Chain A
Amino acid sequence: MYIYDHYDQQIVEDRVKQFRDQTRRYFAGELSEDEYLPLRLQNGLYVQRHAPMLRIAVPYGLLATKQLRMLAHITRKYDKGYAHITTRTNVQLNWPALEDVPDILDDLASVQMHAIQTSGNCIRNTTTDQFAGVARDERIDPRPWCEIIRQWSTFHPEFARLPRKFKIAVNGCTLDRAAIEVHDIGLEALHNAAGELGFRVLVGGGLGRTPIVGSCINEFLPWQHLLSYLEAILRVYNRFGRRDNKFKARIKILVKALSPAVFAERVAEEWAHLKDGPITLIEEEVERVSKHFTDPAYLDLSDQDAELAALDVAHPGFARWRSRNVVAHKKPGYAAVTLSLKKTGIAPGDVTEKQLDTIADLADKYSFSEVRNTHEQNIVLADVEQSKLFELWEQLREHGFATPNIGLLTDIICCPGGDFCALANAKSIPVAEAIQERFDNLDYLFDIGNLDLNISGCMNACGHHHIGHIGILGVDKKGEEFYQVSLGGSSGRQASLGKILGPSFAQDIMPDVISKLIDVYIEHRTPEEQFIDTFQRIGINTFKERVYASNH
């Protein structure tokens, strides 16, 4: 993974000092609440229901074990002993004291971490595929490009006061696990017919209040021009994006107002000036950054299909786990393992300080001392020897990470919701938990198969409910918490946005509603169909009739 040199380190250290002074000025009354707000936000600090919430950047999800241990230390020392993995692969603390934050940042800087631009109206953490660098279907490793974008976007002077937040995602695989179509900018790394490397550029996607799938404005941008082109897009947005209404300030609104074609022309005009300028990327830099993402010292191994199959027979639990939580690796004899943070009864994405230390130990032992956070709020050990899978599984079980539910209904993406978030209309964690309890029978859960169930506590959509096969949105009905259900969303290629099923439901009947939806699917599916396929074939009405029938 990327290792800071003295320049990178200086930037985070200067930043800690700067923020320490901003916080001092705030407490001294030299900065008003309003003035301190954007400063603390651009440092990941929200003031929430109970306490400030600190969002720590985990660039494109990668963490070294040293960093995990520091996170464990910080949650012990400054918080209540647990942290939360967010849907943008960052780490959130729910209970730090404002006056401790500069010290927390100091601790983070000591392991090459920070909280820069994790919130506020600026370019946020760039995200990518959790299997980057190890996926079998990968064409181009997106990580060096993510790091190049991270550096370009860190304290970019021109784009430090954007109309609204700005999120970039990069994919380099056949499948799209980074959901690039629902980002402000989505980049797909690819080779053109001549074998040259470049990016397909999507712009104006996003969830939130006005969910939109991004539009392609450039089919092939040669890699040398990546930053000048990004700069052109951001400049058009910074100058012409709406600032009069916070709900219409995202770039998607500008792209829609102008039309993607006109927006593309505006970017092209701007880019004509910037192209081939000093920020043209050079081979040496791409190589310098790429060197940090070369393969670890893999052994020459072969796939263990027969041995693993034998273990499957002897240990059905292992077989189950392997079928859901283990994926193929580009290197023979290796596998990528997802640790499920979706055990029933634990808020999706939450990890305790002990678990963080344990994960670090496991990563040291089994996966070259690195882990990845996923946007589905789990943690991946990306480079595990197949011959050690069984031994690893036994340890994961002991520590509560072996729930065999990755990609299944109970692997719920869920925002912190009303339990923690001041913006929430409704709680989301208890709804997730009630649904997990309803579907606790593993045979049934496996029979239902792949299903993305996503929950957001309000239309800010941190839980990505629009792109869940089943999406749940907390709404406020005359001061009471209700839940609106949508069906048919999907992320990945050909992303689609869910359709609203109908009037919203009270919290206590949500498990029943989900049960009915699943019943309809089970009754109508053909043997090869997943939930989303059946939905696309039979449409929303059958589901609607079943769910609302009993209400009358």
Chain B
Amino acid sequence: MPAIIKNNQVVDDQWTLLEADAQLEQALHTQQAIIPLALWQQHKEQLQAVQPLGIWLEAGQAIEDIVDDLTHFAVIALNFPAFTDGRHFSSARLLRERYSYNGEIRAIGDVLRDQLFFMQRCGFDAYAIRTDRCPTDALQSLTELSVTYQAAHDQSLPLYRRRSA
């Protein structure tokens, strides 16, 4: 089983990520499947019964497409086609801060150590580090900066409302 970072620890991943072209059958027969958005949209009726279920979105797919269904998902995985792509940084904040999603938000795809600090601030709590890299090594980035100016998922107030002179 591949290792992932979950809640600041390296653990064995219990979930199976299904490919973008996965079929309904596969989803129904896989324990703890993370299914592509398209599959959910096509077969919502049947998939609603599957528990637990995860879903994943491409970087160009908008979380607004799933916000009415959030209670069905134990995991929402957000794909990074490149480590330079920050679109889902916004998605994660919206899921947490606007849509009050409490399940796992997982970064998948081109996920490397140096994105993690920003990701955790945006609301990610799980990271499938690219398989050629060490998740244990990546853990260190989560604590690299000890002070942050902005309000975000991890910190509800900006520094200027926490500062004691």
Contacts and interface: CB of A to CB of B under 8 A. Distances in A.
Nearest to B59: A243
B24 to A, nearest CB: 30
B118 A157 contact: yes
Interface in A121-170: 121, 151-152, 154-162
Given A157-B150, A238-B87, A238-B90, A39 B159 contact: no
Contact-size category for A: 35 or more
Interface residues of B, number: 37
A464 to B, nearest CB: 27
A279 B149 contact: no
Contact of B84 (A121, A152, A282, A285): A121
Interface in B93-116: 93, 98, 112, 114-115
A10 interface: yes
Interface of A: 5, 7, 10-11, 14-15, 17-18, 21-22, 30, 35, 38-39, 121, 151-152, 154-162, 227, 235, 238-239, 243, 273, 277-279, 281-282, 284-285, 288
B78 interface: no
B116 to A, nearest CB: 11
A-side binding surface: helix, strand, loop or mixed? helix
B146 interface: yes
A158 B86 contact: yes
A158 B98 CA distance: 14
B3 interface: no
Contacts of A282: 160-161
B127 to A, nearest CB: 14
Interface of B: 62, 83-87, 89-91, 93, 98, 112, 114-115, 117-119, 121-122, 137, 144-152, 156-161, 163, 165
Contacts of A152: 149-150, 158
Contacts of A14: 144-147
Nearest to B80: A161
A160 B86 contact: yes
B83 A38 contact: yes
B90 A235 contact: yes
Contact of A15 (B93, B118, B145): B145
Contacts of B112: 35
B86 A159 contact: yes
